Amino acid sequence: MINKETVKAKLNILRENLERAKEILKMPDSELKVSNISLSALERYFQLMVDAAVGINEHIISEENLDIPNDYFRTFTILGHAGVLPFEFADKIAP
């Protein structure tokens, strides 16, 4: 059975890091290009968002006894093929 609290917690992680990333992206390009700290933080926030999304995918895949993914990409395409996510969306976001 899919644990709604697990999914909600991971969605909150995704949302929080998206908001943090948006704040960095408000910086002027010229400032962002020379700020290694901001670029590193942006990269980290993006990785945390990917990890949260993949964690949700893996939880659903496990609970629904779907194919075992061998990488992050496959977690999205498996859910697309299973109809959990719209296939076009899954195919677009997987890379």
Name the one residue in this structure whose structure tokens are 């061998």.
70
Closest alpha carbon to 14 in 2, 22, 26: 22
CA–CA separation, 17 vs 12, rounded Å? 9
Q: Per-domain residue ranges for the chain? A: 4-68
pLDDT one-digit tens code per residue, 9-19: 999 999 999 99
pLDDT one-digit tens code per residue, 63-94: 999 999 999 999 999 999 999 999 999 999 99
pLDDT at 32: 82
pLDDT at 34: 84
pLDDT one-digit tens code per residue, 22-56: 999 999 988 888 888 899 999 999 999 999 999 99
Global confidence as pTM:
0.89
CA–CA separation, 75 vs 66, rounded Å? 10
Name the one residue in this structure whose structure tokens are 């969306």.
89
